């Protein structure tokens, strides 16, 4: 395969929460997923660095794979890079942004939480969303890279035996404590890594509803695909078996305690990705 229907990208494995839902609802889509481990975690990058990086990566992927739709499956990037990408590439871009509107409309107590990366919670884009849709609510913002690392560790075991992760459960409970203290009844999972830990969040704080944007993104891609695929005979047909390519940029080397803070590409990770449904796994240079 040298072209693809949809390109999905993130700093790492978080966007796989979107990719999985997308390929489950549109099984004939040919996809390329790009995990930018080299610049992971995005939540600790400056806005300018993210714009440069995404322009570069999207440019290279568009050249190589000619996607019909690009999904920026990352809240941290989408809340800052979409305008620049749309201005540069004549392609439909779908971004993922925190579902603050949905949570604010559903909150009975008018107390909502936003759980995202340290970068996302500071964005002016979020201030505008809150002003527009949640002005009647108390909004508690928690930014955490630790939860992103936890999700990366979890994905390495995808489809394999589940292992007891007591330390992670305690850390996760402590991180989301501000939502309990503020009695939030809706919490937005504003990072695509976090739906991968949804069961843990629900267990730690069952009194809140945990909201994410995954289903809305799938509906958006579906609608766009109906427009884009018109006139391209055969594309999107249900009869063909789709092919899925996973690309990754080389993780940065790290030593000591920092090893917890990097993504590791090894046989365990590759096996998990094959179980998830990828046909080929390639390093993107
Ligand atoms: N998964 C990403 C998001 O939705 C970014 C996580 C990170 O690299 O910090 O925000």
For a mutational test of ligand 1's pocket, the pick from 73, 81, 192, 217, i.e. the residue with the most ligand atoms closer than 8 A to its C-beta, is 192
Tens digit of pLDDT for each residue in 127-140?
A: 999 999 999 999 99
More confident residue, 261 or 198: 198
Tens digit of pLDDT for each residue in 56-83?
A: 999 999 999 999 999 999 999 999 999 9
- Dihedral pair phi/psi, residue 41, rounded to 5°: -90, 140
Question: What mean pLDDT is predicted for residues 21-44?
Answer: 96
The residues facing 94 across adjacent strands are 71
Nearest atom (ligand 1) to Cα of 148 = 6
* CA 200 to centroid of ligand 1, rounded, Å: 18
pLDDT at 164 (0 to 100): 56
CA–CA distance, 151 with 189 (Å, rounded to integer): 13
CA–CA distance, 181 with 75 (Å, rounded to integer): 25
Question: What mean pLDDT is predicted for residues 190-213?
Answer: 97
SS (H, E, C) the chain: CCCCCEEEEECCCCCHHHHHHHHHHCCCCCEEEEECHHHCCHHHCCHHHHHHHHHHHHHHHHHHHCCCEEEECCHHHHHHHHHHHHHHCCCCEEECCCCHHHHHHHCCCCEEEEEECHHHHCCHHHHHHHHHHCCCCEEEEEECCHHHHHHHHHHCCCCCCCCCCHHHHHHHHHHCHHHHHCCCCEEEECCCCHHHHHHHHHHHCCCCEEECCHHHHHHHHHHHHHHHCCCCCCCCCCCCCCCEEEEECCCCCCCHHHHHHCCCCCHHHHHHHHHHCCCEEEECC
pLDDT at 62 (0 to 100): 97
pLDDT at 158 (0 to 100): 86
Q: What does the mean pLDDT of the chain come to?
A: 92
Question: Which residues, 6+ apart, have CB-to-CB distance to 51 below 8 Å?
Answer: 80, 81, 84
- Six token digits for residue 231: 């006139």
Tens digit of pLDDT for each residue in 16-28?
A: 999 999 999 999 9
* CA 41 to centroid of ligand 1, rounded, Å: 6
Residues enclosing ligand 1, CB less than 6 A?
10-12, 14, 40-43, 74-76, 117, 120, 145, 148, 191-193
CA angle 269, 275, 278 (to 5 degrees): 85
* CA 33 to centroid of ligand 1, rounded, Å: 15
- Quote the pTM value: 0.94
Give percent of the chain above pLDDT 70. Answer: 92
- Dihedral pair phi/psi, residue 240, rounded to 5°: -95, 150
pLDDT at 11 (0 to 100): 97
CA–CA distance, 247 with 135 (Å, rounded to integer): 41
User: Are the beta carbons of 79 and 56 closer than 8 angstroms?
Assistant: no
Question: What mean pLDDT is predicted for residues 258-273?
Answer: 82
Can you list the domains of the chain with their CATH numbers? Answer: 6-97+214-283 (3.40.50.1860), 100-211 (3.40.50.1860)
More confident residue, 131 or 235: 131
**In angstroms, how far is CA 90 from the centroid of its own chain?**
23
More confident residue, 254 or 257: 254
């Amino acid at each position: 395969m040298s072209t693809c229907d949809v390109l999905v990208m993130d700093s790492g494995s978080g966007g796989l929460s979107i990719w999985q839902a997308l390929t489950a609802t549109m099984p004939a889509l040919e996809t390329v997923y790009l995990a930018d481990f080299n610049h992971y975690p995005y939540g600790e990058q400056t806005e300018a660095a993210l714009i440069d990086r995404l322009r570069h990566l999207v440019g290279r992927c568009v050249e190589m794979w000619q996607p019909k739709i690009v999904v920026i499956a990352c809240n941290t990037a989408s809340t800052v890079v979409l305008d620049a990408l749309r201005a540069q590439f004549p392609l439909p871009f779908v971004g993922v942004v925190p579902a603050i509107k949905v949570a604010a409309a559903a909150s009975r107590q008018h107390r909502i939480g936003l759980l995202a990366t340290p970068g996302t919670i500071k964005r002016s884009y979020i201030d505008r969303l809150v002003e527009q849709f949640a002005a009647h609510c108390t909004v508690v913002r928690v930014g955490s890279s630790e939860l992103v690392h936890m999700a990366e560790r979890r994905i390495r075991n995808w489809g394999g035996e589940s292992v007891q992760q007591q330390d992670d459960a305690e850390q996760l409970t402590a991180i989301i404590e501000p939502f309990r203290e503020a009695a939030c009844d809706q919490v937005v999972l504003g990072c695509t890594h976090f739906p991968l830990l949804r069961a843990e969040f629900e267990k730690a704080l069952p009194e809140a509803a945990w909201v994410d944007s995954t289903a809305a993104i799938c509906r958006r891609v579906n609608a766009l695909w109906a427009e884009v695929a018109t006139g391209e005979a055969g594309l999107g047909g249900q009869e063909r078996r789709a092919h899925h390519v996973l690309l990754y940029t080389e993780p940065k080397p790290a030593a000591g305690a920092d090893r917890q803070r990097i993504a590791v590409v090894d046989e365990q990770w590759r096996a998990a990705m094959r179980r998830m449904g990828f046909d080929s796994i390639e390093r993107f240079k």
